[in-house]
Each structure stands twice: as C-alpha cells, then as structure tokens.
Copies of this chain bind each other. A is one copy, B any other.
Amino acid sequence: MKFKKVEQQDIAFLKSIIEKDRIFTEEEISEDFSRDELAGMRNMPEVLVEPISTEETSKIMEYAYEQNIPVTPRGQGTGLVGSAVALYGGIMLNMSRMNNILELDEENLTVTVEPGVLLMELSKFVESNDLFYPPDPGEKSATLAGNINTNAGGMRAVKYGVTRDYVRGLELVLPNGEIMEVGGKIVKNSSGYSLKDLIVGSEGTLGIVTKATLRLLPLPKKTISLLVPFHKLETAIETVPKIIKSKNVPTAIEYMVKDTILSAEEYLGKEFPDKTSDAYLLLSFDGNSKEEVEKSYEVVADICLEAGAIDVLISETQERQESIWSARGAFLEAIKSSTTEMDECDVVVPRNRIAEFVKYSNELKDEFDIRIKSFGHAGDGNLHIYVLRDDLAEDVWKDKLDKVFQKMYDRARELKGQVSGEHGIGFAKKNYLEESLSVDAMTIMRGIKKSFDPKGVLNPGKVS
C-alpha cells in the first residue's frame, strides 16, 4: 500500500480546523499511542489528533481521503490484536475526548453516547437509573466504540448475548468523510443490507463511530453468584453442557484455576474468598426476585454437586460478589504482570467442546515446554489462552509461539470454532482468519472493505 507521508502543509491544514492543543507531532506523542494492550506490534502515528465532534472527525477524514493519508481511530488502546496501531503511520484519531453520555431515552429504553464513553461509566450511569447495559467484558476501561468495533462479548453473553445485540443505531464518519447514520432508536429493521451489523465488529476499518444508540434492559433486581470448587479443571468444564441442558441458563459461567486466582490476589492485593481447590466455576444468576433466582441456582448447584463439585459457595451481598468478579476482571493483567511478554488466543468453540480444547491446550504446554495460562467464558465457548514468554530468547519464543498457536487454531477449526470470540482479528490474527475461512469469504470481505473505502485509507492492514 502506497500512502502519502504527513507533511507540513497537512499539519497546517489540521491546525486550520482543530485547536492546536489537540494536535500532537513527533516527541509530543506519547509512546502509548504506538501500541495497544498486548503491544505485539508497535508503530508511531505521524500526527495524533483529538477531535471533539463528528464534524471535526469528518473534516479530517475527508482531507486524509483526498490526500491519501492513512487514518487510525483509537479509543483507550485496550485491544489485544493491534486494531488500533497506526501500522502505516499517518493520522491517529484519539476519540477519547468525545466522551459524553448524550441522552437517556426511557420511553425507548435507549442511551445515546459518544464513542469515547467508558464501559464502566456507562454501566454506572444506566444502573443509577435502574437500567441495565448487559455486555460486560473484563476490561471495564475500554470505550464503547472499542466494544462496538470488536463486538465485545464478556461474561454475561451466556444469557444476554453480545455487544451487537445492544447496538440499535450508529453515526459514522465514512472513509470519504461523509457522515452516515445506520439504524436508529428502532427495534426492528429490514431496510436493505444491515450496515449497522457490518460496522459492529469491523475494528474501525469501515467507518469511524462518532455516536451510538444502545439498547437497555430493566435492571434485574436480584443477582447472586456461585463459586463452585472442583478437584479437576476438566470436571469443572464438563459440567457446563449439563447446566445448559438443564434449561436453567445462568447469566455467566466462567472457569478459573488456582494459580490464576493466586496471581490475581497478588496483582490486586486482595484476598479471594476461596483458593483451596485446583479449579472453579464461577456462575451468576439474575432475576427480579429472590425466589426466581433461587429456583434457578438451586437446580444448577445440584447439577454441579452431582458432577463432582466439592462445594457450592453462595455470594449474595454486592460486596462479596464484587470481590470475586473484580478478581475475575483482573486475570489478564495479573497473568501479564507475571511474565515478560505474552500473546493470546481468543478462539470460540461450541460450548460442549470447551473441555476438549482446554485439555488440548494443556497438552501443548507440556509438548512445547512453555507456560500457558487460560481462563474464560465456559458458558459461551470463548476461551482466553495466554502463551507466556518468560525468559525465552526472541527466536525461541517466536518459534514456540507460532507452533503452539498454529496447533490451537487448527484444533479450533476442527471443533467448528472460529478464530476470535470477542477480541477481533486486527493484524495479529489475520493469517489465522485467512486459514479458517474460504477463499470466497475472504474475497467477499475485501470487496466489502472496498465498498466502504475504495482507497483503503481507513485503518489499513487490519482484518481482511
């Protein structure tokens, strides 16, 4: 791809439409903007701009499109596959300043937000209004636009689905700078191809999200969590399809092992309620009354005990539940802080195949003599598996990582799974995506990209 480098006249143009203190060049740009959370690839943008409106974003994009300068939109940089890295330099748009919650519409049960609103801010806001935004990824400091662009799933996907299910409408700036609205406050829509659903999960390659209208639910009045210790991880995970089959669908079903819990305790400096066992399922249930929730969890507790659980620890108070779930939310950081470098595999498989996949990844640990840690969404088949570098030399690390990943993605394909459950493709997983899809599917995806972005200037080098 041949792009134009950013020159003095381009900076001058940006300064003519954006206040100077929101434009950064060279050493003014923090190193943070060269990478995302996993930092598997780094590259500095030539200029960093912080728009505060759709109109500014549109003007910048229009100019960049004309001039053939690549543009990379970025939220909080919490991604794990490099979607927000300016691979080809150019202009980076830090959308974080557009962080207003614009409207709560209680008659339509929607909330409209700017792209930079953080997930944790949104949750707090809607819950204070007795409403509920179900998507609940571990990383609460991600932006909503980031969540939309990866179609983030999170813990509650078992019962409530993923981000796509909660996006009603979007305002976008297209690669040519035009502003487009898709969807709206409407509940149904069959008006042509669903561009809204195409934007969700497109990792900032088809348009820049400048506004989002999200669907809300009434806040469940009662939530309860079960921490269920098992002697063995396999026994724990093999219990999951039995729970699903019982038709008592929990809100969330996570799995975890003792040493991840210990890492999280160390990382957070907080005690986890139980760490006597090797493996755990963590479940939550919600509903509108104690009786309703009890009815479900009692059945599930019995299934767990019958399947070999050592105990079932019930957490009813908000405080106690928060202590457990905040530990769960810190697993990624805790594992990361235990090693020098790591990479992750975020495959999703049918939920009755998870046990098989986890077992396989444990075998790889021995086969390749490398540390592999995993935790994840047992209830929805989405695993987060981390391969850790520790003190391996660069070439040994790359070689082992490639081999381990290749085996994992091959196995996921055999199990009728997909490359990414919720973290996306970015550039880090492009090869695995290409391997997992047909030639036709890749050709179609590239055609779609071209339909939105004929010159390929928006977030180039990602996804397809």
**Complex: how many Å from CA A109 to CA B245?**
7
Name the one of B107, B188, B464 contacting A193, with C-beta atoms under 8 angstroms.
Answer: B464
A138-165 interface with B by 8 A CB criterion: 150-153, 157-158, 161-162, 164-165
Residue of B nearest to A349 (CB): B186
Known contacts A194-B200, A440-B174; A291/B291 CB under 8 A: yes
Flag whether A308 is at the interface (Cβ < 8 A).
no
Contact of B197 with A194 in the complex, beta carbons under 8 Å:
yes
Q: Would you call B185 and A418 a contact (CB within 8 A)?
A: no
Within 8 A of B (CB), among A428-464: 433, 436-438, 440-441, 443-452, 463-464
A58 interfacial contact with B, CB 8 Å: no
Interface contact B292-A382, CB-CB below 8 Å? no
In A290-305, which residues have CB < 8 Å from any B CB? 291-292, 295-296
Residues 169-190 of A at the B interface (beta carbon under 8 Å): 174, 176, 178, 180, 182-190
Is there contact, CB below 8 Å, between B151 and A190? Answer: yes
| In the assembled complex, A76 has its CB within 8 A of some CB on chain B | no
Query: Which residues between 190 and 229 of chain A lie within 8 Å of chain B, taking CB atoms?
Result: 190-195, 197-198, 200-202, 206, 217-219
- Report the contact-size class of chain A (Cβ under 8 Å from the partner): 35 or more
Distance in Å: Cβ of A385 to nearest Cβ of chain B: 15
With A and B bound together, what is the CA distance between A161 and B187 in angstroms?
Answer: 8
| Residues 95-111 of chain A, each 1 if its beta carbon lies under 8 Å from chain B, else 0 | 00000000001111100
Closest to A430 in B: B192
* Any B CB within 8 A of the CB of A420: yes
* Chain B residues, CB < 8 A from A359: none
Residues of B near A188 (CB, < 8 A) are 151, 153, 157, 162, 348, 377, 380-382, 421-422
* Interface status of A315 (Cβ within 8 A of chain B): no
CB nearest to A447 among chain B residues? B451
Asked if B249 contacts A218 (CB within 8 A), the reply is yes
- Measured CB to CB, the nearest residue on chain B to A109 is B244
> In the complex the two chains form, what is the Cα distance from A245 to B131 in whole Å?
10
- Chain A 403-436 per-residue mask, 1 if CB under 8 angstroms from chain B, else 0: 0000000000000111111111100000001001
- Contacts A186-B381, A291-B291 known; list 4 others, CB within 8 Å: A186-B416, A187-B380, A190-B425, A289-B292
- What are 18 of the A-B contact pairs (CB < 8 Å)? A105-B352, A107-B245, A151-B194, A153-B190, A178-B440, A180-B438, A186-B348, A186-B418, A188-B348, A188-B382, A193-B463, A219-B247, A289-B292, A292-B292, A443-B451, A446-B451, A447-B447, A447-B451
Residues of A within 8 A of B (CB): 105-109, 130-131, 150-153, 157-158, 161-162, 164-165, 174, 176, 178, 180, 182-195, 197-198, 200-202, 206, 217-219, 241, 244-245, 247-249, 287-289, 291-292, 295-296, 346, 348-352, 377, 380-382, 416-425, 433, 436-438, 440-441, 443-452, 463-464
